């Protein structure tokens, strides 16, 4: 289409411009590095204390991968991240798996503590289980979300679409984060030789977006089916689909898995282990979290410790 051709040309020109940056002398690089050491940190906190203690937060220019099997919690992680980053600046949440309305419903459930099942609409006779207090909380959450510089794209599917959204959003001010949910549903403009090459192009271009717009890019990614066959081991980097380029381009990879031993059959809360499998800026470690399924949120889990 004309639009796709235009975006391809713009992308190619921007890539050429990025590649034409002058070489930096080591003295200038060292001077800049030392100056940065004494300036306020540019890392932006994640919503989880344990993860912050290991990766410090989301770093502008960094590419972060959140990997998990379906229904473990990767979408909840990136949605809560979008909500938190929107307190710092403009945020783009590209969601390919659900509509913007579905995302907003989850966020309202998380903000209000009202069970998702009670936010699915009125009965046939027009009645609901919501109290007046519930309705007040819902309207307050709606207004709060409306006040945040958070934009949700539920139709994009290519890196060119994401770039166009980022360029448009940057006109409003600095971008605090670009979030993609999820990598497996992205597509390419034109033909590609293999899915491995296609994913390699995606991660390379997403990393370039992070550097170009000086913001963290946080990408949800699904793990291979093989990772679920052996329930005795935690997921590893090799469980990432087309893992080579993802592992290579990412600054941080966090792999989520359910902690079966902590599951309580009486409620919907399930322990989640967040394994920081790659951390270019620091150590690797596993952090205990808990998924509160009824209200679509993930929190720190102080009740568990992981060696």
Joined together, the tokens standing for residue 67 give: 């990997």
Size (the chain), residues = 307
Predicted TM-score (pTM) of the model is: 0.87
> Beta strands of 10-169 (E only): which ranges?
63-68, 90-95, 150-153
Instruction: Give the Cα separation of 21 and 30 in Å (integer).
Output: 18
Q: Which residues of the chain have pLDDT under 50?
A: 18
The per-residue pLDDT for 247 is 84
273 close to 286: Cβ distance less than 8 angstroms: yes
Distance, C-alpha 204 to centroid of its chain: 16
Nearest to 10, CA basis, from 152, 154, 158, 128: 158
User: Rounded to an integer, what distance in angstroms lies between the CA atom of residue 205 and that of residue 196?
Assistant: 14
Q: What is the spatial distance between Cα 260 and Cα 272, in angstroms, rounded to a whole number?
A: 9
- DSSP assignment letter at 173: S
Of the candidates 203, 142, 151, 198, the residue with the CA atom closest to the CA atom of residue 178: 151
Map tokens 């990412």 to a residue. Answer: 250
Distance separating alpha carbons of residues 192 and 127, to the nearest angstrom: 52
Query: Would you give the DSSP letter of residue 20?
Result: T
Tens-digit pLDDT profile for residues 33-62: 898 888 888 999 999 999 999 999 999 999
pLDDT tens digits, one per residue of 144-195 = 999 999 999 877 678 888 999 999 999 999 999 999 988 888 887 767 777 7
- pLDDT of 285 reads 94
Residues 6+ positions from 121 with CB-CB distance below 8 Å: none
């Amino acid at each position: 289409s004309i639009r796709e051709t235009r975006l391809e040309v713009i992308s190619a020109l921007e890539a050429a411009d990025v590649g034409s940056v002058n070489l930096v002398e080591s003295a200038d690089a060292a001077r800049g590095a030392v100056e940065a050491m004494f300036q306020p940190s540019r890392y932006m906190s994640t919503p989880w204390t344990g993860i912050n203690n290991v990766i410090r937060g989301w770093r502008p220019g960094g590419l972060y991968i959140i990997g998990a099997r379906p229904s473990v919690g990767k979408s909840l992680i990136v949605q809560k991240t979008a909500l938190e980053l929107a307190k710092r600046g403009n945020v783009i949440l590209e969601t390919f798996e659900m509509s913007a309305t579905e995302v907003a419903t989850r966020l309202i459930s998380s903000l209000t503590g009202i069970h998702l099942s009670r936010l699915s609409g009125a009965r046939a006779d027009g009645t609901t289980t919501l109290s007046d207090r519930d309705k007040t909380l819902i309207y307050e959450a709606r207004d709060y979300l409306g006040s945040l510089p958070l934009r949700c794209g539920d139709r994009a599917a290519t890196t060119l679409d994401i770039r166009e959204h980022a360029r448009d959003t940057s006109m409003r001010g600095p971008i605090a984060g670009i979030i993609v949910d999820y990598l497996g549903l992205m597509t390419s403009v034109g033909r590609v030789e293999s899915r491995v090459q296609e994913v390699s192009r995606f991660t390379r271009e997403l990393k370039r977006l992070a550097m170009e717009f000086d913001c963290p890019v946080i990408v949800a990614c699904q793990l291979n089916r093989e990772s679920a066959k052996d329930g005795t081991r935690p997921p590893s980097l090799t469980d990432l689909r087309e893992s080579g380029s993802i592992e290579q381009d990412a600054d941080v990879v966090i792999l989520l898995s359910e902690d079966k031993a902590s599951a309580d059959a009486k409620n919907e809360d399930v322990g989640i282990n967040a394994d920081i499998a790659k951390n270019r800026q620091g150590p690797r470690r596993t952090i205990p979290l808990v998924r509160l399924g009824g209200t679509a949120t993930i929190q720190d889990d102080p009740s568990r410790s992981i060696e």
